[in-house]
Amino acid sequence: MLNTLIFKRNTIYFFTSFIWTATLSVLPQAYFMSNYPEQKNTFLSLFLLLGTLASIGGILTSQKDKFYSSLIAPVRRRNFLTACCIFTMTASFSGLLAVKNLWLYFACFVLLKFISNFFYNCLDRFFVAESEREQLEIHVRSNLFFQLLGIMLAPLYFSCFAANPIQNIILIWTIALLSLLFLSQDPQEIRPDFRADEGSLPKSKLNLYDRLFVAYSALILTAVTMLISMMIYILSDYYQFSNPTAKGGTIIGVISIFAVLTVLRFGFFSKQPIKLTDNPNFSANSNGIATLVLILITLLFYLKISRSFAFLLGGCSLAGISYGIFLFCTRNYASRASANTKINTGLISIYNNLPNYASLACYLLTLSVSLAAKTYGLDFSKLMLKIVWGFFVMALITLYLMRIKTKPVLMIQRLDKPPKIAGLGLNKGFTDRDIDRKSKK
């Protein structure tokens, strides 16, 4: 019963993912292509850049103790604050569907990105810290499921119905009200051993292993964000497809569908439980294969091996599987590391903010490439695909460094158990006899 309620409350992640994906992959691209075709690349980059800065500001604001402690307030006050945040998010998204003025469009987007990221990180930090260790498993898997479901449905829906603002406004308010209803039903009773200041404990510095993890995640997210945010323009200018909005939304949807299926197969419906150990390790081997696939698919896009839309969809299905592996593994590791009550590195907040930092780097780079392409008469799409490929290659190199880097074992480990050493993706236990044998050698 409790797991069912936890699953229902996490529909709020579908709501945030749905509006985030819509404002990244379809709506702004279609808006600028229709209203400002000559400056579409520059305006889109500037638009997404300002939204990313607002997102970062929202997450940084959410880390203030007074905002985090509001979630530990009485249920009535917590529900009121939740309702205010969801109402603001929905109203600002509705503005994006209705307004035509450029400055109002920018203002609605900045407000949406700030309040949604503020609310998301406050809520996620609270859920991770408040959950029992066995309940964290259902939280992680349902979180990923709803996020990927939103990523999957938003581009497919808005690529077909972007021109129906009234219908879209009714839909988004319906999703928001359902999310609020399910969230208010969550039994957010603070467990007896939960400390009110648990979310704001002094944070220790990330070790080298976790820094490499953050770098790897940021590189993949930057490359994927860059590719998705420019997919419609790439199909329009580089491949010269007719109706690029619908086809671009379909490609993004296919990537998301296979990412969802991958998470369901290896995560949500997996018979093997997530291991919540005091010293979790990141799955470097499976992510290495996934990153190699992303490198290959990007290269095929760049070389134009085939102009067949069906061929591109087939390649994107493999990319979606790889992206699903990446999302599931990174989210699991960040949550397991943050669930450890012995240390507090703040990795979950860093991980939640990574898409924003990655987007910031992406849009700054995109804006620079757009201006350079216009100044020197270069092919914007070819430059973008080269940069995306380069980010994937750097991510693979970073992953290799993680693979050969041993994660430090916590000193709190029990002395009556042999230490576990993470090397090349395997854990090997050494007994006293093995240690004696090695010392003699």
Task: Round the average pLDDT of the chain to a whole number and report it.
Answer: 78
Are the beta carbons of 326 and 258 closer than 8 angstroms? no
From 224, 221, 226, 222, select the one nearest 316 (Cα to Cα): 224
pLDDT of residue 427: 40
295-340 pLDDT per residue, tens: 999 999 999 988 899 999 999 999 999 998 998 888 888 877 766 5
Per-residue pLDDT tens over the stretch 261-275: 887 777 555 555 445
Give domain limits for the chain: 2-189+204-440
Q: Please, what sign has the CA dihedral across residues 3, 6, 8, 11?
A: negative
Q: Could you tell me which of 115, 99, 84, 102 has the C-alpha nearest to residue 19? A: 115
Output the pLDDT for position 416. 38
* Alpha-carbon 404 to chain mean position: 26
Q: What is the pLDDT of residues 83-134, one digit of tens each?
A: 999 999 999 999 999 888 888 998 999 999 999 988 888 887 777 767 666 6
pLDDT at 345 over 80: no
The superfamily (CATH) of domain 2-189+204-440 is MFS general substrate transporter like domains (1.20.1250.20)
Half-sphere exposure in the Cβ direction for 358 (13 Å, CA): 24
Collect all residues with Cβ–Cβ distance below 8 Å to 163 and sequence separation of at least 6: none
**Verdict on whether the full-model pTM lies above 0.75:** no
In the chain, how long is the greatest CA-to-CA distance?
78
**Which residues are CB-contacts of 337 (< 8 A; sequence separation ≥ 6)?**
210, 280, 345, 347, 348
Tokens linked to 371: 């201006």
- What are the strands, taking DSSP E only, across 129-277? none
CA 326/CA 288 separation, integer angstroms: 9
